[in-house]
Structure 1
Amino acid sequence: MPVLSNSQNNTSYRRLADVYDHLMGDAPYDRWMQVAVEVWRHAGTGPSRVAELGCGTGSLTRYLLEYGFEVWGVDLSADMLHVAREKVERSHPDASVHWLCQDIRELALSAHIDSVLCFCDTLNYISDAEGVQRVFARVYEALVPGGTFLFDVHTPYKIAEVFGNESFSHQDGEVAYIWESTYDPDTEAVEHDLTLFVQEQDGLYRRFHELHHQQTYHLADLTDWLAAAGFELLSITADFTGQPVEEDSERAFFAVRKPVRED
């Protein structure tokens, strides 16, 4: 089953919020957490304030809270944040979480942050290069000197060859979906047309429709934009392996740092 991204599309995720966790039951949030821990270890940083961009329903947020961090959870969807807040209040009632309903291109945090995470291909939902560059600039401003920024993206290979012009389906006792992907080679973007059937309490199924757009970004361009924002590159790795990105890698992980001394 493909992995649905966390939200940077308020309209598309409005009705999906209620079933998002059910559909994402196999998502490797523990592995995303381990990626962050490994980067912090190699960088010699021990963050205390962490911001999570595109936090969705707060599944990764709960892992961050296990480490005792003060967390900023940022998402464009108020519905996703509502689910996240309720979930975290049940599991970590005394935790310190600042929930912010924001477009990450206009990120504005209430404090300087030690590390910013943007996982689950959230940046692929930014539809143009200017928007991604604005995210990088905002994150740079939010970080303390020496602070780290970690994110992942679907590679051009995955957008074109794995999603491409493919169909996916899923059915269980509560939710069923039909997922049609359409790839545009001219724009290097994919449209995900998703029809969901969700079982109600009376046993009948409610049908609703979602349309999602994901944009390809080449690794060389992302590297250049990060440098232009002022970041220094720590690593680019593939598919939770810690190894270099290959031609058929599906997910690229970037780790960068704001210099301790700015030029």
Structure 2
Amino acid sequence: MAYAHMAAVYDRLMADSPYGEWLDWVEGHFAKGEKPRHVIDLGCGTGTIAIPLAKRGYRVTGVDLSAEMLAVAYDKMRREQVEITWVEQDMRELELPQADAVISLCDSLSYLTEEADVQETFRRVFDHLAEGGSFLFDVHSPYKMLHIFGDETFTYMDDEVSYIWQCFCDPLRLEVEHQLTFFIRQPEGLYERVEEEHLQRAYQPIQLIRWLSDAGFADIVVTADYSDRPPKETSERLFFAARKPKR
């Protein structure tokens, strides 16, 4: 299962990620309309977005497929002394009470590697939104799949955890298989080797816009790289904002 081993070291590996920029982008969109009370965070991982939102006064439900990631999120929540509902669930089978907003950040939707799965997820999100509610998410761009991941190998070395990260790209499907080998230091000083495989796929923006529209969304806006600017050919991360119309 994805993140089965990685959960324990995920926050260390992602420590330099711009979570503040994700949060600013989300709250910037919330500020344009009525502030949501209840937010569903799809693919919430270890809760690094959900927990700050809860501390800012939102009622948050975090949804993830990985029980290991949710266990880490729960421990972090207890340390931060906030209340969040954690749900182990596949976003393609979302079954929860309605919310005022649904977010899915850190390229969680890029793990949906079949078109039908993306379309079903969009339909589920639409059904779980109150009228006027926002759906905000980001995904890897086709450019990033082809030219940043490509068939590259990345390495990271640290006293506590190191990894070898190999990427294998299918350019026709805009799909990348990530093969990760971790070396995790154990209490006795030895290193345990663990391996994981992750599969991600990019879609053309026009496809995602069409599927959002087919699901019933309106006011669809696409920007890039944490900004309000439209995507360029070399944009690496695409941000989508859509709204469920009021009747």
Q: Normalization by structure 1: what TM-score?
A: 0.92
Q: How many residues align?
A: 247
Aligned mates of 2:149, 2:138 — CA distance in 1: 17
> Which residue number in structure 2 is paired with residue 33 of structure 1?
23
Asked if residue 170 in structure 1 is aligned to residue 156 in structure 2, the reply is yes
CA contact (8 A) 1:163 1:183 kept: yes
Q: How far off its partner does 1:77 sit?
A: 0.5
In structure 2, what residue type is equivalent to 1:154? H
> Which residue number in structure 1 is paired with residue 137 of structure 2?
151
Aligned mates of 2:20, 2:223 — CA distance in 1: 17
Q: How far off its partner does 1:186 sit?
A: 2.5
- Match of 1:39, SS state, is helix
Asked if residue 97 in structure 1 is aligned to residue 79 in structure 2, the reply is no
In structure 2, what residue type is equivalent to 1:65? A
> Which residue number in structure 2 is paired with residue 254 of structure 1?
240
Q: How far off its partner does 1:234 sit?
A: 3.9
Q: How far off its partner does 1:61 sit?
A: 1.1
Aligned mates of 1:21, 1:55 — CA distance in 2: 13
CA contact (8 A) 2:209 2:220 kept: no
Asked if residue 192 in structure 1 is aligned to residue 181 in structure 2, the reply is no
> Which residue number in structure 1 is paired with residue 69 of structure 2?
80
Unmatched segments (≥5 aa) in structure 1: 1-10
> Which residue number in structure 2 is paired with residue 141 of structure 1?
127
Q: Deviations over 1:104-155 (max 9, x none)?
A: 000011x210000000111110110000011100000000000000000100
Q: How far off its partner does 1:216 sit?
A: 1.4
Aligned mates of 2:200, 2:230 — CA distance in 1: 23
Q: How far off its partner does 1:86 sit?
A: 0.9
Aligned mates of 2:210, 2:237 — CA distance in 1: 19
Structure-to-structure mapping, 1:102-117, within 5 angstroms: 102-109=89-96, 111-117=97-103
Q: How far off its partner does 1:98 sit?
A: 1.3
Q: Deviations over 1:138-194 (max 9, x none)?
A: 000000000000000100000011000111000011111011101112222111111
Q: Deviations over 1:185-239 (max 9, x none)?
A: 2222111111110001111111011111111111000000000000013421100
CA contact (8 A) 1:148 1:256 kept: yes
Aligned mates of 1:97, 1:195 — CA distance in 2: 32
Aligned mates of 1:233, 1:206 — CA distance in 2: 49
Unmatched segments (≥5 aa) in structure 2: none
CA contact (8 A) 1:30 1:63 kept: no
In structure 2, what residue type is equivalent to 1:52? D
CA contact (8 A) 1:152 1:253 kept: yes
Q: Deviations over 1:38-87 (max 9, x none)?
A: 11122x12011000000001111111112111110000011111110111
> Which residue number in structure 2 is paired with residue 61 of structure 1?
50
Question: Out of 211, 217, 224, which is 2:203 matched to?
Answer: 217
Q: Deviations over 1:84-103 (max 9, x none)?
A: 011101102xx331111000
Structure-to-structure mapping, 1:15-34, within 5 angstroms: 15-34=5-24
Q: Normalization by structure 2: what TM-score?
A: 0.98
- Tell me the percent identity: 45
Q: How far off its partner does 1:12 sit?
A: 2.3
